Structures are given as structure tokens and as C-alpha cells.
Structure 1
């Protein structure tokens, strides 16, 4: 009997994933307005967003290990912390309370985002997992869309508290939906993956990647290396991944390459999302227009993420997409440096969203395919590297916020630096795809 996928868990996760991004980017489109209201600099408002990648770098691995050990409690804790952070921002109308709420929500973010591969592996049949990862990833971008939409509507200093109130309501409701959806463990929990198979409990269609990793054809994957962990003997209940699993995952050359590569596109996107409004303002782009530009940017990314990864997987063109997206991003940043304005802002930043954001579901699908029980740890490494890049690039761009031309040229250079690394991924990705063929 075929075991059905539980899509309600994906719906709950998608809402919470969107909530994390909504809290993160609430002020991205109204940086100048928020600075005036709370009596701080634009760079200080930028730190309300930058605290997220800063803490992600610190917490990504511990949260990934926690999810591998206690998946449901860890994910629900992330949802609750996100909601609490959003509510804390309503306590007082000053920068201190805003920062306190952002810190709480930023602690929660790695618990939520690291779970995107784990929740699909536990609640969806194997055939549905690529779709689940795409949906979960698209929800992250949808949260960005909501953030930019709200900042495009609430553009005055007096309307900011209303924006924060709506955000808090959304976060609380999302947490309740997820808690209800995760009342029971997932049918495909990796903890049960090595139990003795039977015709009723282990149909081939739902075999996990952790099981597949024991086959000789995929012995090079980190999941296979977990068999070397003490207590992980074949046929016995597996030991929950920990630091040894982290070492095994990091020991995989493909995972390491993806981590290094993630620094550059993530960095450019985070910096652009955080400071686009301030960088375009000297060219006559208003806060409301900048918010609309960022909104269109992420909508294009959502559409691209829903279509481009399918084409890429069909033609095995992951490396080619990464090279194309990085090169186009560099060209778009140069255009903004040379001819900043409303029209070029729409064209360049929309192009960045369309081509750069689809790289995330592609990378996460490769990670899910590559790893088994340690998918939370592996996803944490990717997110940690990306957020490290976001933190570093955003700090550099923040220092150059008064010099838009230099800031855009720096982002262009960072995107170009990653092109050789993206091109070099062609062979290891091809080997991974060939290993996973039946």
C-alpha cells in the first residue's frame, strides 16, 4: 500500500518560512522613513536586517544538528520564537524594542530555514520531495514579497506601527497552523529508515536517501559516511547525527564547493535587498518606488524558482544556470552604477531576482539528494555560508551607502568572482546525477 504524502505539514512550514522573511525585511523598503521615525541612522536601520545573517552564521550548525536530533520540537520552537520576536517589537515605539524583537526572530530563523529539506523528507513521499522543496523555498521568497508589499503600502513614519502589527498577527497565525500540522511525526521519518523493511512499511517508492547511500553506487556521499559513526551498524537503529555527521558532511567535496559558492550570490542579494532604497534615493527613486522595485524583484524570483529549476534539472544545466545568473547579476549591478534611476532599477533588479533566486532550490535539491539523516546539518552549512556572505557584503555596501556608484560596482565584482567556481561545478554535479539514476 502506497503511503500518502502529508502536504498539510508543508503548508504550515511555508507559512512560518514566509513569516521569518517578513520579519527580516520589514524595513528594507522604508529604510530612510524608519531612520527618521526612530531617530537613528540609515545604517542602524540596516542592522535590523543584518542581525539575521550575523546570528545565522553563529547558529546555523547548532540548529542543524538540533533539527537532526529533535526535528519537530526544534521547528516548532523556531516558529514560536519568530512570533514572539514580532510581538516584542510592538511593546515600545523605539529602536531598542525593534532590535530586541529582531534578535529573537533571528535566533529562530536557522531553526526554520534549515528544516526545508527535513520536512519534505519526513512528510512527503520521495517522488514529491523536489516539489516540496520548491514550495518551501518559494514560501521564503513569498515572505519577502509580503515584506516589500507592506513597505510599499505603509510608506510614512506614522504608518509603521500598523505594518508591525500586521506582521505580528501573520507570525502568530502561521505558528498555530504549523503546530497543528506537526501534531504527529512524519510517516517518512529518517529515524525509522533503517528498520527491517517489509512489503507494507518500506515500498520502493518511499525509500529514503539515507538507505540509498548504503549502496555501492553512492558510497561517496556523506550519508554513506555515517555508517562509520559508532553505533550506526547496518540493520540497527541509526545513531542521531551530531558532530561526527557534521564532519562527514563537510568532508564531501561537493557540499564544500556549494558552501563556498553560496557566499557570493547570497551576499549580493542580501545587500541589494537591504540597501537598494538608500542607494537609489540620490537618483530620485522614492521609498515607495524602491519598495515596488524590490517587490517585483522577488515576484520574478518566485516565478523563476517555480519554472527554471524544472528546466535546469531536465537538461542537467545547474552549473550553466549559476554561471548565467552570476554574470547577469554583475551586468545588472554595473548598469545601476552607470545609469541609476527608476527604469534601470526595475530592469536590473528584476533580472537579478529572476535569475539569482532560482539557484537556491536547485542547490537545496542537490543537498537533499546528496545527504541522508544529516540533511539539517548539510542545509545549515549552505545557509550559514550564504548568510556569512550576506553579512560581509551588506556591511561593505552599508559603509558605501553614501557612494552608490562604488557600492553597485562592488556588488558586480563580488558576483563575477564566483563565476569560475560555478563553472567548475559541472563535473561533480554530473557525477551526483549519474549516481542517483536507477
Structure 2
């Protein structure tokens, strides 16, 4: 019950994140601002995450349920603040408040797995919770595809606000169920000591290095793929459909790939394949930009790349069991920092899609040395 309610809130949080991404040009016309400014309605989420990831992780390690309630309240409040006035200023304020709730929601995945699942089911639970976050993006992109046009922006905002409120209420009700006792072999660490433990863990630090660029590539694509594909003749509604199907492929991948990799000890190999495929997909969009190529490459990227996140979260929980939420916060922070940097770079190149996709392809390949660095540590550790 707790995991189901959590999944609803995680999905709602990500639906807010991508609300305006599939209707970038319509939202720009509706609010009377540039496409780059609309991009900031999504980019504020990774930016705020970078600032609050560690404090949220520390709070979750010490007060799991109250901190999750804070996340639910901020998420729903931000969603409704966007409705105060039908202008860009209130849209941005609401997005920023909802973004402040996101670290309290997403950092909780490993802590919930430890608190409510037996050890043998934790990898599956983390994969399922991660799938819910991507399902929220699916919902956001589908809503954008089903409600195109600048006259539907207000309706889109209202629908996602109602979803966030209902999901938050469900989670608050479900959290009345207390977590199970933590095993003595993994006593909880709280406060700044949890931060020192997580940051001092070499496995966690190297996982942060691995996840930063690929997750940043995905955030940049999720934010700007619609205007990047427009010169190739891809309509706004088609781009929204592509993004929605990409997320559906990611949800399916998260349900299958991390569990398979965990059972066979192939986590590193799976992440390496995902990084290589993503770089190749971006390169294909440089050489053959078209609607069929966008469908093929982005759906493949969703299926192989998005499962890398639950794999990394599962590895971080395994290597830092006494500070799992703080370790997850560091991982998410690294990924969102990569998202801020790469999305900003792509935003500057949004009128030159070939260069933008080439930059993403080259940047993504830089994650392979970091993955090799982690693998060397993992294979030499006692």
C-alpha cells in the first residue's frame, strides 16, 4: 500500500516536471515569452534538486515519513500556485515550489525499500518505484499530446494540479503504516554524519560520476527534444507522442532490465550498453533527422537508459546501507547537476539541432571511463 501511494506521488511530481515540455512552442505563445524561458519551467527542477538533494536525503534518513509528507505538501502546493494567475511568473513560482518537493520524494526510494521490503525484494521495489517516476513523465507527455494548442495550457495546468493533490493525500494516508525495524547489521545514520558516511563512500562517489552525464543527457532531451526535432518536420503533437512512448519504453525497461541485471550480476555491463546506445542514438539524429528515426532512437534510449537509474540507486543502497537516502540524494544531485549543465548548453543551441545532438552524443560517451573507474573499484573491493 505504501509503495503504491508513493508511486502515485512520484508520478505526479514528474508530471509537473514535464508539464510544459511537450507543448513548448504553445506555452511560449500562451505566456508571451521565448522558447528558452519555457525551458526553465522544466530546468528549475534539476536546478533546485542540486541545491536540496543532500538536505532532503539527511532529513529522510532521520525522519522518513515526516520528510515524505513535506515533499507531498510542497508538490501539491506548487502545482496549485501555478493557477494563481495565468502568466509566466506564477507558472515559474509554482514550478519552483513543486521542484523543492521533488528531492524529498525521489530520494526516499531506497529508504522506503529498506523500511517496507525484505532485502531480497529491494532491487525489485526500487525498480518499481523508479518506473513510477517515468510513468509520471509518460502521463505529462500524453496530456501534452492530447491537449495541444495554446488555449489548452490552463487546462493542462489544472489537470496536473488535481493529480498532485490526490496523490499527496493518498501518500499521507498510507504513511500511517509504520516501517519495519531496521536490521542491526545496518543501523541508521542520521544528520550530517549520514552525509559524511555517504560522501566518504568511494562506491557512492564513483556512482555519482557515472550517472551525471547520461542522466543529464536524458534531462536535456526531455526538455528540448520538441524544438530540436521541429526543423526535421516533426510536429509538436508528434514530438509529445514520441516522448510519451519513450517514457513507456523506459517504464517497461525499468520493470525488466534492473531485475535481470541484479539476478545475474550484470549491472555494470547493462549500464555500459545503455551509455553507448544513447550516444549512438544522438549521433543518428545528427545524420538522419526524421520522424521515423526519432521514434526508433528515442524509444530505444528510453528502454536501455532509464533502467540505469534504478540500477544505480540499488547499488548505492547496497554499498551505503546505513545512509541510503543521503546516498540516493548524492546520486540524484549528480544526475540533476548534469541535467542543468547539458540542458543549458542545449538551450543555447536549440536553433542548431545538429550541433546540439552532436554535443549530447560526445558528452554521453564521457560516462564510459567513469563506469570503468567504478567497475575497477567494485571488482577489487573485498
Which band: TM-score by shorter chain?
over 0.9
State the 1:430 CA deviation. 4.4
**Residue in structure 1 matched with residue 242 of structure 2 by the alignment:** 293
Is 1:386 the counterpart of 2:335? The answer is yes
Specify the SS of the correspondent of 1:183.
coil
**Residue in structure 2 matched with residue 205 of structure 1 by the alignment:** none
Is 1:271 the counterpart of 2:220? The answer is yes
Give me the whole-angstrom Cα distance separating, in 2, the residues matched to 1:64 and 1:307. Answer: 27
Runs of 5+ in structure 1 lacking a partner? Answer: 1-7, 195-208, 212-237
In the TM superposition, what are the counterparts of 1:33-432 in structure 2 within 5 Å? 33-188=26-181, 190=182, 193-194=183-184, 210=186, 240-430=189-379
Specify the SS of the correspondent of 2:19.
coil
Q: How many pairs align?
A: 382
Give me the whole-angstrom Cα distance separating, in 1, the residues matched to 2:297 and 2:120. Answer: 36
Asked if the contact 1:210–1:371 (Cα under 8 Å) also holds between the matched residues in 2, the reply is: no
- Return the structure number with greater relative CO, CA threshold 8 A, min gap 6: 2
Specify the SS of the correspondent of 1:186.
coil
With 406-415 and 422-431 compared, the bigger mean Cα shift is at: 422-431
State the 1:431 CA deviation. 5.9
Specify the SS of the correspondent of 2:22.
coil
Give me the whole-angstrom Cα distance separating, in 1, the residues matched to 2:63 and 2:209. Answer: 28
Give me the whole-angstrom Cα distance separating, in 1, the residues matched to 2:258 and 2:284. Answer: 27
Give me the whole-angstrom Cα distance separating, in 2, the residues matched to 1:125 and 1:330. Answer: 37
Specify the SS of the correspondent of 2:321.
coil
State the 1:372 CA deviation. 2.3
Which structure would you say has the larger Rg? 1
Runs of 5+ in structure 2 lacking a partner? Answer: none
Give me the whole-angstrom Cα distance separating, in 2, the residues matched to 1:300 and 1:428. Answer: 31
Report Cα offsets for 1:62-119 as digits up to 9, x if no partner.
Answer: 1111111111111011011101111111121100110010010000000000000111
Runs of 4+ in 1 over 3 A off after TM superposition: 427-432
Report Cα offsets for 1:330-351 as digits up to 9, x if no partner.
Answer: 1110111111111111011111
Asked if the contact 1:280–1:404 (Cα under 8 Å) also holds between the matched residues in 2, the reply is: yes
The TM-score with structure 2 as length reference comes to 0.97
Report Cα offsets for 1:352-377 as digits up to 9, x if no partner.
Answer: 11111010111111111122231111
Is 1:13 the counterpart of 2:6? The answer is yes
Report Cα offsets for 1:12-56 as digits up to 9, x if no partner.
Answer: 111110011000000111101100110000000000000011111
State the 1:310 CA deviation. 2.1
Give me the whole-angstrom Cα distance separating, in 2, the residues matched to 1:330 and 1:384. Answer: 22
Give me the whole-angstrom Cα distance separating, in 1, the residues matched to 2:152 and 2:175. Answer: 36
Give me the whole-angstrom Cα distance separating, in 1, the residues matched to 2:25 and 2:127. Answer: 34
Give me the whole-angstrom Cα distance separating, in 1, the residues matched to 2:138 and 2:192. Answer: 36
Asked if the contact 1:279–1:402 (Cα under 8 Å) also holds between the matched residues in 2, the reply is: yes
Report Cα offsets for 1:357-409 as digits up to 9, x if no partner.
Answer: 01011111111112223111110000000000000000000000011000000
